[in-house]
């Protein structure tokens, strides 16, 4: 699960995350990110608190074919810095960790690596076919840094 190369996140997936974070307010939204063909396209939703997140992880890793490349969680405050608990979670769940904060638009999130360093996560325009991400079709892959986090 570690070291899996990810070229970006699908724009629809990012929009889903931001919408879910917004509608979870004032509570946290948390999930694990899965990638197909190197693009993050799936979100496994987890309970929102730090302790419930950890116990959900234990259960998830007993499932076959769950390839987690990272995580997403929201901070109901606009503070986008990870906590000590977040960092412990990051080191166990891949190498791409999004924290989103209000107003949950396309600029109000950041991505960290497993060690807590900021990293770029390009937002990609991909088309989803009916069969899911095995047939992911690259429509217009633009590495649009303008819409990446600050």
Question: Binding residues for Zn ion, per CB under 5 A?
Answer: 83, 86
Query: 101: which 2 tokens?
Result: 């904060």
- Catalytic residue flag (residue 85): no
Q: Which is catalytic among the residues 19, 28, 85, 147?
A: 28
The residue with its CB nearest to Zn ion is 86
Smallest distance from Zn ion to CB 107, Å: 19
Residue whose CB is less far from Zn ion, 35 or 80: 80
Q: How far out from the chain centre does Cα 134 lie? A: 19
Please, which residues bridge with residue 118 across strands?
A: 112
Least separation in angstroms between residue 51's CB and Zn ion is 13
Name the packing angle between helices 84-92 and 50-60 (round to 10°).
Answer: 10
Distance, in Å, from the CA atom of 34 to the CA atom of 41, rounded to the nearest integer, reads 6
Question: For the chain, what percentages of helix, strand and coil (3-state, to nearest 5) are there?
Answer: 25, 35, 40
Q: Which is nearer to Zn ion, 10 or 121 (CB)?
A: 121
Nearer to Zn ion by Cβ, of 11 and 97: the residue is 97
Q: Compute the least distance from the CB of residue 74 to Zn ion, in Å.
A: 8
Which residues are tagged catalytic?
Answer: 28
């Amino acid at each position: 699960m570690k070291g899996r190369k990810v070229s970006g996140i699908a724009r629809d997936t990012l929009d889903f995350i931001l919408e879910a974070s917004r509608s979870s307010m004032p509570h946290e939204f948390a999930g694990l990110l899965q990638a197909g063909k190197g693009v993050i396209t799936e979100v496994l939703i987890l309970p929102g608190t730090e302790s419930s997140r950890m116990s959900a992880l234990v259960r998830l890793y007993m499932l076959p074919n769950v390839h987690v490349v990272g995580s997403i969680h929201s901070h109901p405050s606009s503070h986008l810095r990870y906590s000590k608990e977040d960092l412990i979670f990051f080191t166990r769940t891949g190498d791409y960790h999004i924290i989103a904060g209000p107003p949950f638009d396309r600029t109000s999130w950041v991505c960290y690596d497993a060690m807590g360093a900021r990293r770029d996560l390009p937002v990609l325009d991909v088309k989803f076919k009916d069969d899911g991400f095995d047939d992911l079709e690259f429509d217009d892959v633009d590495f649009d840094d303008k819409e990446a986090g600050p």
